[in-house]
Structure 1
Amino acid sequence: GDGDVNFLDPKASSASELVYRAIDDKEAMDPSIAKALYIGIIHDTGGFQYSNTSPETLRIAADLISYGFDFPTLIDQTFYEKTYVQNQILGRALLESIQFMDGRCIVSMVDKKTMSFYDATPHDLEGIVNQLRNTKGVECAIFMYQT
């Protein structure tokens, strides 16, 4: 159920943005808190690419960066760095994808047998739907998997 106090803002980019605003004493902020809030914001905004990114979101991100954590490495590790298994299964999912609706939609699936072959876990599948969505002309991406 609902708590005693609800803090809602449908225009906020993320829960992390709301948490940042709720911290009254910015002196209490430290690099580890700033890093956690920053990672929440960058993921919920797709690296500041989604429509939920506002000037306020970017101001908050700039303030969080000022706490001194290594944000370029953080972005690299969370968005781009992949294990060999992740790259293999991503390649398989892309190769076996199918476009429909005049190329506006794309779908791919990884079945249980493929998961087992690569010894992949659901964690290894993170980011596949984003790669499908990055296909030129695609407006809708669907990715499914069996466990």
Structure 2
Amino acid sequence: MAYEFQIDELEGPYTDEEGSQIVEFILGFDVEQDSIVVMSVILFPTTDPNALELCFGIRTKTASGEVSGPDYGREGADLYIPREYRAQVLAKVRESIALVVAAALPASIVMETFYPALPPQALQKYDGAAAAVIGCGYRLEDSFRDTENGINYWLFGKL
């Protein structure tokens, strides 16, 4: 793999064909695969018409138009985001959250961890995401770890 890390400006928000609101920024390029690697911050529809779910993850986009699903794992972060740039990337994620929330302004926002039983250090990025949502005029209505599956959940309501 000939990946080159090169963080770029925010793009969006835009709405995809499924009704999701998205802001993303380039993390780098893989010249051998003729693809770009982006961090996508997405608010997507839920079964509740008044709520959107917030997620953020790494996706790849090829020159032919193929787009991968979001990668929420540490392996993707280790592969595409050098350690010395992680704080900068997380700051851009928080900035992206502010933009996508301002564009959508749902009554409620939900967020959940992808992996169960995350240690406190791994939850720090979610704390930053929660602060970004709160900064957009929302209040944290509930936050808990499900005792059966170990997934953490957050619910925000518009002030």
Q: TM-score band (shorter)?
A: under 0.3
More strand, by proportion: 2
- TM-score normalised according to structure 1 size: 0.27
- Bigger radius of gyration, 1 or 2? 1
More helix, by proportion: 1
- TM-score normalised according to structure 2 size: 0.26
